[in-house]
Each structure stands twice: as structure tokens, then as C-alpha cells.
């Protein structure tokens, strides 16, 4: 079912956020995504990893794990931590809701993940950790070319 798989582990330092999103983007690039699709994936990964570091571990040291799978036309990304967990997932997902306004957090993390990826699933147990699973379909190149062609035709 999967064509490819990768796993990544790193300690919860915010300097690793850039490493994490670039690594996943490099893996995703095998599906030949557009620049926009790649930017969406990078942003969603950055949000989830930042959540693990800031909220899950609250800046204490822990390990963030990323697993990712590729199918013919889809990337699945699972980001997990063994941090403090989320008490109320529905509330955490609300736009602008944040438990850390003093750290200038915007509360937009889950909203961005949900709008940049096709599907976002959050599992969390207080005291044990959180796992975010996201997926995004990457259109094959021929379809993108067709779409572009149709758009050009409708504009003329």
C-alpha cells in the first residue's frame, strides 16, 4: 500500500523546527508537488512540531517523532510527542484559542494545519502525549497541467 516510508526523531529544541519541516518537505518532493503544496506541508509540519515543543514539553527536553508515508499520490505525516497532552482537543482546535498568550502564541496552529492539509487527526492523552496525523493528496503532474490548461482556456 505504501511506496515509501521514513522516520525521524529529534529532541524538543525549537532550533529543530526548521530541520523537521525541511526534512519532511524533501521526502514529500518525491511526489513532485508544486511550490504551493510544498509550502503547505512545511507550514503544517512546523505548526505540529512547534506545538509538541512549546505545549507538549513546555520547553523541557523530550523527543519529537515524525513518521511519514507516501502512496501513489498522497503523503501521510504523523507527529508525536510524549508530553503533557491536550485536555480539550476541540477547544485547542478553535481559532485564536491559546493557553500561552503571554508567549505571543496566536492560537492559529490547528486552524492552519486543517486548512493547509486535507485531513488532520489529533489523538491525545493527558500525561502521556499527543499524536497528530495529517494527510494531503498531491495531484499527479499530468492533472495539474490539465487544470492549468483549462484555466488558461476559461480566461480567454
Chain contacts with another protein (rule: CB under 8 A): 14-15, 17-18, 21, 36, 39-40, 42-43, 46-47, 50, 53-54, 95-96, 103-106, 108-109, 111-112, 115
Q: Give me the catalytic one of 47, 73, 88, 90.
A: 47
Q: Please, what is the minimum distance in Å from the beta carbon of residue 76 to another protein?
A: 20
47 is catalytic: yes
Nearest distance from C-beta of residue 77 to another protein, angstroms: 15
Dihedral sign of CA atoms 140, 144, 23, 93 in order: negative
Nearer to another protein, 11 or 128 (CB): 11
Q: Choose between 89 and 103: whose C-beta lies nearer to another protein.
A: 103
CB of 71 to another protein, least distance (A): 25
Does residue 21 carry a catalytic annotation?
no
Partners of residue 135 on adjacent β-strands: 76, 119
51 is catalytic: yes
Hey, which residues are catalytic here?
47, 51, 105
Amino acid at each position: 500500500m505504501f511506496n515509501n516510508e521514513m522516520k525521524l526523531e529529534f529532541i524538543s529544541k525549537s532550533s529543530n523546527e526548521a530541520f523537521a519541516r525541511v526534512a519532511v518537505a524533501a521526502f514529500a518532493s518525491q511526489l513532485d508537488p508544486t511550490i504551493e503544496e510544498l509550502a503547505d506541508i512545511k507550514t503544517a509540519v512546523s505548526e505540529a512540531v512547534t506545538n509538541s515543543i512549546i505545549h507538549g514539553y513546555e520547553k523541557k527536553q523530550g523527543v519529537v517523532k515524525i513518521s511519514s508515508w507516501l502512496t501513489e499520490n498522497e503523503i501521510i505525516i504523523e507527529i508525536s510527542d510524549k508530553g503533557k497532552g491536550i485536555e480539550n482537543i476541540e477547544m485547542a482546535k478553535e481559532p485564536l484559542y491559546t493557553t500561552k498568550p503571554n508567549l505571543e502564541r496566536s492560537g492559529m496552529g490547528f486552524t492552519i494545519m486543517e486548512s493547509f492539509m486535507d485531513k488532520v487527526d489529533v489523538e491525545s492523552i493527558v500525561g502521556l502525549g499527543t499524536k497528530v496525523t495529517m494527510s494531503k493528496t498531491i495531484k499527479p503532474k499530468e492533472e495539474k497541467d490539465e487544470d492549468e490548461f483549462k484555466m488558461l482556456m476559461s480566461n480567454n
